[in-house]
């Protein structure tokens, strides 16, 4: 097993544990729990195996659902995002997405923020739609989507900028 | 085979995604009864459309069977309705056979005519089904005629659209008797003859079968009076009637058999001698 795969598994397990035991207990303003496990989706190699990644995305959501006693909302959202990730990358980075990661270490900040916006936006939208699953709750969905999404975005940006020097 | 395999490899990501999505939907519905309910509603919406689509095909192919069933049921109901129409002439202890001595057999019209002055109808039941000459033939809301001759599987019926056929009729509201005769033109226009001027008749009165002949049970509604003139010379009314049902557009009919017809005819012949 290569060191990259090992790293992937390690970050997978750590993110699941962090999400379930720390970030799910925040309850900021009573209902905001940032979904930080999306860092896994952000940090996975852009040129990695997509089929394997879809399966990993599914497993990620599934294990969070199992451990935090929720329905299948995490599973569906992260599965869909992992399936759409190549499209999001192509949209956010343009042609440079095809280049290996080492070339893009200093890639433009705007592209990265766009990428995170799409990734987190789609994920949160699907997540809250599945959680409430009713037209009557459209305003609650929009409110939770925007506020939680904002906090997740901030946290993901913070953590990824903190961890960047170590890579 | 190779192509299928290639396609599978090429679309492995969407296939995997859809498979896992299905799994997570199942997981979702097993975890939360709210989601299960909502998903079932969505599923029901689609499946009900599909079911009604296949059902319409299914129904179309079973129409013949359904028709036969309905005819059988109608035959039963018809005999009950006739029984209910017939006034009970006898005490109940005489038994139902005496009170309503008719049996009902259903049949289909296979040939009908209205262009002649003396019309005949062919029906698809014959001596094998128990038909005999001189049985009455009725329709859903009226009468069609009388069996003339019978072969093994078919029978010919003297249509009510026959200038020489006189049907014994009565009024629903009064006890006056007369006979119904076709006028020979419009299949719904008939004249009612032999009703004496002393009886109280109004336009719009309903005529029913009289029950004086042994062919038809009493009280089958036939039509209404459309015109009344009193002819003082003859002492009879001249009346026009319109039938409820057009006899030339009838497809399923009921043949009725009077179980005691032979006895009645035997007595009639004896009295005439």
> In Å, how far is A73's CA from the nearest CA of chain B?
7
- In B, minimum Cα distance to A134 occurs at B38
* B151 interfaces chain A, CB cutoff of 8 Å: no
- Residues of B within 8 A of A89 (CB-CB) are none
Q: Is the CB of B17 less than 8 angstroms away from the CB of A71?
A: no
Exposure on the CB side of residue B61, measured as CA atoms within 13 A: 4
- Residues of A within 8 A of B13 (CB-CB) are 50-51, 54, 83
Q: Residues A52, A54, A58, A61: what is their CA dihedral angle, to the nearest 10 degrees? A: 110
pLDDT at B94 over 60: no
Tens digits of residue pLDDT in A12-30: 888 888 888 888 777 777 7
**How many CB atoms lie under 10 A from the CB of residue B219?**
18
Tens digits of residue pLDDT in B131-160: 888 888 988 888 888 898 899 889 999 888
The DSSP bridge pattern shows strands B221-231 and B206-209 to be: antiparallel
Question: Is the separation of the CB atoms in A148 and A32 below 8 Å?
Answer: yes
Q: Where are the domains of chain A?
A: 3-166
Choose from B8, B20, B40 for mutation: most chain A CBs within 10 A: B20
Tens digits of residue pLDDT in B218-264: 888 888 999 888 887 888 888 899 988 888 888 888 898 888 878 88
Q: Is the CB of A134 less than 8 angstroms away from the CB of B38?
A: yes
Partner residue opposite B38 with nearest CB, options A62, A70, A133: A133
Alpha carbon distance A109, B88 (integer Å)? 101
**How many CB atoms lie under 10 A from the CB of residue B90?**
11
Structure tokens that stand for B258 in this block: 């009077």
Question: Is the separation of the CB atoms in A55 and B20 below 8 Å?
Answer: yes
> In Å, how far is B72's CA from the nearest CA of chain A?
51
DSSP code of A53? Answer: H
Question: Is the separation of the CB atoms in A37 and A57 below 8 Å?
Answer: no
> In Å, how far is A65's CA from the nearest CA of chain B?
10
Structure tokens that stand for B161 in this block: 């659209």
Beta pairing partners, B228? B239
Alpha carbon distance B101, B115 (integer Å)? 35
The secondary element (H helix, E strand) that includes residue B252 is strand B252-258
Q: Considering chain A, what is the average pLDDT of its residues?
A: 82
Counting beta carbons within 10 angstroms of the beta carbon of residue B56, is it exposed (0 to 12), middle (13 to 18) or buried (19 or more)?
A: exposed
Q: Comparing A153 with B98, which gets the higher pLDDT? A: A153
Among residues 1-40 of chain A, which lie with CB inside 8 Å of chain B?
none
Identify the pLDDT of residue A167: 40
Helix axes B12-31, B33-61, angle to 10 degrees: 110
The secondary element (H helix, E strand) that includes residue B188 is none
Choose from B17, B24, B38, B43 for mutation: most chain A CBs within 10 A: B24
pLDDT at B187 over 80: yes
Rounded to 5°, the CA angle B152-B253-B138 comes to 110
Neighbouring residues of B130: CB distance < 8 A, sequence distance ≥ 6 = B105, B257
Alpha carbon distance A41, A57 (integer Å)? 8
- Residues of A within 8 A of B27 (CB-CB) are 62, 65, 71-72, 75
Q: What structural domains does chain B harbor?
A: 2-61 (no CATH), 85-164+253-272 (2.40.10.340), 167-247 (2.40.10.350)
Specify the length of chain B in residues. 273
* B28 interfaces chain A, CB cutoff of 8 Å: yes
**Of A93-102, A119-128, A149-158, B245-254, minimum mean pLDDT range:** A93-102
Alpha carbon distance B199, B201 (integer Å)? 6
Tens digits of residue pLDDT in A48-73: 788 888 888 999 988 888 888 777 88
Q: Is the CB of A80 less than 8 angstroms away from the CB of B17?
A: yes
- Residues of B within 8 A of A61 (CB-CB) are 24
Alpha carbon distance A18, A11 (integer Å)? 10
* B15 interfaces chain A, CB cutoff of 8 Å: no
């Amino acid at each position: 097993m290569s060191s990259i795969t090992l790293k992937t598994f390690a970050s997978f397990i750590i993110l699941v544990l962090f999400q379930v035991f720390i970030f799910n207990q925040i309850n900021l303003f009573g209902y905001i729990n940032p979904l930080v496990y999306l860092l896994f989706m952000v940090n996975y190699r852009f040129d990695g195996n997509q089929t394997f990644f879809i399966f990993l995305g599914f497993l990620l959501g599934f294990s969070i659902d199992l451990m935090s006693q929720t329905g299948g909302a995490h599973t569906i959202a992260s599965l869909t995002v992992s399936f759409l990730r190549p499209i999001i990358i192509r949209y956010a980075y343009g042609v440079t997405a095809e280049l290996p990661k080492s070339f893009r270490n200093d890639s433009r900040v705007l592209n990265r923020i766009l990428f995170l916006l799409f990734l987190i936006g789609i994920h949160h939208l699907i997540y809250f739609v599945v959680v409430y699953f009713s037209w009557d709750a459209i305003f609650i969905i929009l409110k939770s989507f925007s506020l939680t999404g904002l906090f997740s975005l901030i946290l993901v940006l913070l953590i990824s900028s903190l961890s960047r020097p170590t890579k | 085979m190779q192509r299928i395999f290639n396609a599978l490899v090429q679309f492995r990501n969407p296939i995997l995604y859809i498979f896992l999505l299905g799994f997570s939907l199942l997981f979702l519905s097993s975890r939360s009864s709210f989601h299960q309910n909502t998903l079932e509603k969505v599923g029901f919406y689609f499946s009900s459309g599909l079911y009604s689509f296949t059902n319409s095909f299914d129904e179309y192919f079973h129409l013949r069977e359904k028709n036969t069933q309905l005819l059988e049921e109608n035959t039963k109901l018809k005999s009950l309705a006739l029984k209910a129409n017939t006034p009970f002439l006898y005490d109940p202890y005489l038994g139902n056979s005496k009170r309503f001595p008719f049996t009902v057999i259903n049949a289909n019209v296979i040939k009908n005519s209205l262009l002649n002055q003396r019309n005949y109808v062919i029906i698809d039941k014959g001596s094998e089904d128990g038909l005999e000459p001189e049985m009455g033939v009725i329709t859903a809301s009226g009468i069609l005629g009388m069996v003339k001759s019978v072969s093994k599987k078919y029978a010919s019926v003297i249509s009510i659209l026959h200038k020489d056929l006189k049907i014994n009729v009565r009024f629903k509201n009064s006890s006056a008797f007369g006979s119904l005769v076709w006028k020979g033109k419009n299949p719904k226009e008939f004249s009612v003859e032999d009703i004496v001027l002393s009886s109280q008749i109004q336009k719009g009165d309903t005529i029913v079968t009289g029950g004086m002949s042994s062919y038809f049970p009493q009280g089958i509604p036939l039509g209404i009076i459309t015109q009344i003139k009193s002819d003082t010379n003859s002492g009879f009314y001249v009346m026009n009637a319109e039938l409820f049902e057009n006899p030339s557009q009838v497809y399923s009919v009921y043949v009725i058999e009077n179980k005691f017809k032979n006895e009645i005819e035997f007595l009639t012949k004896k009295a005439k001698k």
